[in-house]
Structures are given as C-alpha cells and as structure tokens.
Amino acid sequence: MSYEHGMMAMNLEMPPRVPRTEFSAEMHWRLIKTVTDIDVNAFSEESVKKTAAIAFINAWNYDFIWSAPITHPELGEYITNMGHAVYADSGTDFDNHITKLFDDPEDVYEFDFYEKLGTRDKNELVKRFDEYYDTNVSTYHNAVNMTGIYITCISGLIALLGWDMLLLSLGLDKKRFGEFTNRYVKWIEQYYIALAESKAPVVMLHDDITWTSGAFIRPEWYREFVFPNYTILFDHLRQAGKKILFTSDGNYTEFIDDIISCGVNGLVLEPTTDMNYIAEKYGKTHIFVGNADTRILLGGSRDDIYNEVKRCMDIGKNCPGFFMAVGNHIPPNTPVENALYYNEVYEELSRR
C-alpha cells in the first residue's frame, strides 16, 4: 500500500499511517544484509547491490523515492572538483583529486553559459526525464516516483566554482555575482521547460542554499537573486500541474516563507530547519519531509531514538502531507541495532 499512502500524502488526504522515505539507508550494506538476508557488501556486484537495495526499500516500505537525476555531469568539463571525504561503506567514495575551473573572479563575472555549455534539445531532455521516470516506476513500483533537477541554482554554482571561488567572487562584487547567477538560471531554465513537459506528476528540485548554521550570504542577496529566479523556474512546473518538492541541506528556516512563496508544494529538510514552524504555518496546505537527527541514531540510547521519532511524530502526525525520514541520512557507520530500533519505533508510532 506504499504508493497509495504516498499519493494520499502528496494530495494532502491524510493516509491511515504516516508515510516515510529515507536517504542513504539503501547503501548501508550491513543493515541491508540484516534486513533482507541477502549476502551483500560494498564490493558486491552491482546487480547484487541493486537487488538487495530494492528488497530493503520494500521491507522498510518507502512511500516515495527521492530522485533528481540532473546533476553535475550536465556541466560537462566546466566543473571544479573539490574532492570527497569518506561517506560510503568501506570508503569507496573517497576522492582526493582537486581541480579548479577559475583562478580569477573576473573570469567568473564574464562567463557565458550558452557559449561554454551550449543549448539543449528540449525534446531530448523530455525524453531523458521520461525514460528516467519510467525506469524508477519499474524498479520501485510500490512507491511514489519522481524525476527532477539537482543543480537548480546555488548547487550549480558550487559545482562550477567550488566554495573558495564562489565566496571570493561573491564577496568582491555581489552585484556582478548576482548577474552571473541570473545567467546561470537562464541556462538551467531550459531543463525546467522540459521537466514541465515530462510525464512525472511529482518532481524534485534541489538547491543547497544554506549551511548547517544558516545562510552563508546576506539574506537580501538571496531575495534579490535566488528567490525571484526560483519563481521563474518553478512557474513552468506549476503551470503544468506538477507537485513540486524542494530540498536543501542545512538550516533554511529563515527562508521557509520565501521558498513557499515561490510556488512549491513541499519541503524536504534536515534537522536544523525548524519543522515545527512548517507544521504550524503550512501543515494543512503543504507536504513536508523529515526530520529526525541522524546523530541520535549514531550515538544515542534507545530512549533517545524513541524520543526523537516521537518528537517528529508529535509535530507532523496531524498534518496530511507529512512524511517521516531521518533528515540528514542514515550513513553506513550507523549502528545496525540503532537503525533497526529506529524503524521499529517508526512502525509503532506511524499508525494514526
């Protein structure tokens, strides 16, 4: 019944249980092996991993699958590689290869996106979105599926510039950097136009606009150069009747109202964003997903885990569009027994 409950929540129809999704748990191979009895680890064949991950997702009854396939590779060679710390099981994602695209902020301000990155064929983009969505539906047929865009605005600029050049260029000339941002959004808009014509009824939009501590730029800059651009991009999707979900890492509490006003239907959030504020102001009109704290699963007691799930349920249970999730992922170093207990408590408290 996972798809049914997920769509009920997407349509704000109050399913009989609080639906859920999770992030990264389907890459926690020790947990997956325990839950599914499939002999799998970080070095297993990809086909074995895929089979095991699907079996785990079914066992844990994900009601929707977070998905946004338009990511960094869309930028081709125009990417700054900042490397990657160990996150995945056995450190298979570690990357110490560092490259940068720009040495001088002047080159940033003058960057021409259409000259460097080119124009995309709309029909080909629509086809890509549809094929990706169809594959997801075939793979996860018991859940609500979606397609979407990861590099909406700020996340695209991070991929292009890396943090050092982004902060330097922005700090030296906020106006010219804002114009650079506008040009990026004009380029990425072609993906939004195509996404609006795709078959997926639910779409995921991602943009990491904040850090754990909150905004890393003055709020007025976001309100001049980010949120007006969101409105332009999201309008294509609204006119097409899509359910629009928005995700950002970090604490974006101060921008909740701004993001809602851009036309989204739902918010996916980490624990640092104030879910209680969302529930109180938008809990009857919008979807929201979160926001148990993974740090409690990593090092907390059983009482701590129970209380964290209860905190989320106390906030969201009376809201028809609430989905439970560990907001900042269930990484592979999470003790298996803690993850299992988290799921046990979720199942106990999810019944309405």
Q: Both 247 and 336 in a single domain?
A: no
Whether residues 125 and 248 fall in one domain: yes
CA pair distance 37, 55, nearest whole angstrom: 10
Residue 283 lies in a domain: no
Q: How confident is the model at residue 219 (pLDDT cuts 50, 70, 90)?
A: very high
Is residue 72 located within the same domain as residue 59? no
103 and 161 part of one domain: yes
In a domain, 157, yes or no: yes
Question: What number is the average pLDDT over the span 176-186?
Answer: 98
| 144 plus 245 within the same structural domain | yes
On whether residue 282 sits in a domain, the answer given is no
| pLDDT-based confidence at residue 97 (cuts at 50, 70, 90) | low
pLDDT of residue 80: 81
* CATH code assigned at 253: 3.20.20.210
Cα dihedral 268/57/322/272 (nearest 10): -40
Task: Check whether residue 81 and residue 43 sit in a common domain.
Answer: no
Is 2 a domain residue?
yes
pLDDT at 139: 96
Q: What is the mean pLDDT of the chain?
A: 95
At 123 the three-state DSSP class reads helix
Last residue of a domain, one of 214, 245, 268: 268
Residue at 172 is within a domain: yes
298, part of any domain: no
pLDDT tens digits, one per residue of 117-157? 999 999 999 999 999 999 999 999 999 999 999 999 999 99
Between CA 297 and CA 320 the distance in angstroms is 26
Tokens coding 63: 């009601």
Judge if pTM exceeds 0.85: yes
Question: Quick one: 226 and 319 in the same domain?
Answer: no
CA distance 109 to 86: 33
pLDDT tens-digit series, residues 237-249: 999 999 999 999 9
Residues 59 and 111 in one domain: no
**Number of domains forming the structure of the chain:** 2
Residue 2: which of 52, 55, 68, 57 has the closest Cα? 57
Order of all β-strands in the sheet with 243-247: 147-149, 202-206, 243-247, 266-268, 287-292, 322-326
Say yes or no: 84 and 211 in one domain. Answer: yes
Listing DSSP states for 228-242 in one string gives HHHHHHHHHHHHTT-
- Asked whether the beta carbons of 257 and 278 are under 8 A apart, the reply is no
252 and 339 share one domain: no
The residue out of 268, 298, 328 marking a domain boundary is: 268
- CA 172 to chain centroid: 30
162 within some domain: yes
Q: How confident is the model at residue 22 (pLDDT cuts 50, 70, 90)?
A: very high
Q: Do 328 and 241 have their domain in common?
A: no
Domain that holds residue 48: 1-63+309-352
Confidence of residue 81 (pLDDT cuts 50, 70, 90): confident
Does residue 83 register a pLDDT over 60? no
The pLDDT assigned to 223 comes to 98
How many angstroms separate the CA atoms of 95 and 86, rounded?
A: 8
Same structural domain for residues 149 and 248?
A: yes
Give the model confidence (pLDDT) of 265-321 as tens digits: 999 999 999 999 999 999 999 999 999 999 999 999 999 999 999 999 999 999 999
Residue 211's DSSP bridge partners are 214
Tell me whether residue 295 is in a domain: no
Q: What is the pLDDT of residues 85-95, one digit of tens each?
A: 656 676 675 55
Domain's final residue, options 241, 268, 295: 268
